[in-house]
């Protein structure tokens, strides 16, 4: 019986890791997003420019993530501002950029995003963080998926990831995290 359970667990894990995009998000359920109207980039002292790969460089990734976030937040009615804002946004494309000390309530954030790749497929992760006006982390989402094999496809994958992640922001009152 134990052997069958172990086999079933391995099968479930293998299926979960078979290239299907993974989207995870959570937020501080005590935070209110109702009055948030302005946003700006969070000046994270631990920010690292994304690493490039054989397809695109880090500057390409940075520019496209920032453009996609700005476009998506504008479509939701958030105005970009400089200086003080209602919310502050940051992103990471590697586990080193995700601060493990940040937590929501009494539980720590889920595991780090997985960054991997092979000769034939490359996998990428994008994590978006939203902080309140007091710099407290109040919302986070991560998407891990297979990425394209040329710059146009990578740009499309970035846009898709940002759209998917921010489709869960701001969370409706009373909603549950996934």
CB neighbour list of residue 162: distance below 8 Å, 6 or more residues apart: 65, 68, 69, 72, 126, 128
* pLDDT at site 11: 35
CA 57 to chain centre: 19
- Total length of the chain: 178
CA distance 4 to 12: 12
CA distance 96 to 157: 21
CA distance 144 to 142: 7
Digitized pLDDT (tens) for each residue of the chain, 178 residues in all: 444 333 333 333 444 444 556 788 899 988 999 999 999 999 888 787 887 777 788 899 999 999 999 999 999 999 999 999 999 999 988 765 555 444 444 333 333 344 444 455 567 889 999 999 999 999 999 998 887 888 999 899 999 999 999 998 998 876 555 5
Walk me through the domains of the chain, giving residue ranges and CATH numbers: 20-166 (3.30.160.670)
For residue 154, give the nearest of 56, 70, 69 by alpha carbon: 56
* pLDDT at site 99: 52
CA distance 49 to 176: 32
Q: In angstroms, how far apart are the furthest CA atoms of the chain?
A: 60
Instruction: Judge whether 109 and 140 are in contact, CB under 8 Å.
Output: yes
Instruction: Judge whether 95 and 112 are in contact, CB under 8 Å.
Output: yes
């Amino acid at each position: 019986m134990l052997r069958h359970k172990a086999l079933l667990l391995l099968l479930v894990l293998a299926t979960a890791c078979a290239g299907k995009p993974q989207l995870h998000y959570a937020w501080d359920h005590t935070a209110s997003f109702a009055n948030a109207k302005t946003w700006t980039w969070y000046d994270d002292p631990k920010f690292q420019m994304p690493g490039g790969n054989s397809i695109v460089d880090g500057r390409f990734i940075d520019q496209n993530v920032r453009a996609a976030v700005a476009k998506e937040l504008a479509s939701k009615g958030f105005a970009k501002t400089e200086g003080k804002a209602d919310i502050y946004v940051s992103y990471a494309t590697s586990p080193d950029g995700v601060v493990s000390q940040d937590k929501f309530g009494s539980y720590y954030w889920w595991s780090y995003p997985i960054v991997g790749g092979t000769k034939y497929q490359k996998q990428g992760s994008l994590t978006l963080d939203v902080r309140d006006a007091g710099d407290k982390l109040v919302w986070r989402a991560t998407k891990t998926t297979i990425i394209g094999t040329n710059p146009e496809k990578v740009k499309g994958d970035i846009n898709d990831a940002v759209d998917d992640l921010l489709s869960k922001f701001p969370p409706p009152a009373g909603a549950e995290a996934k």
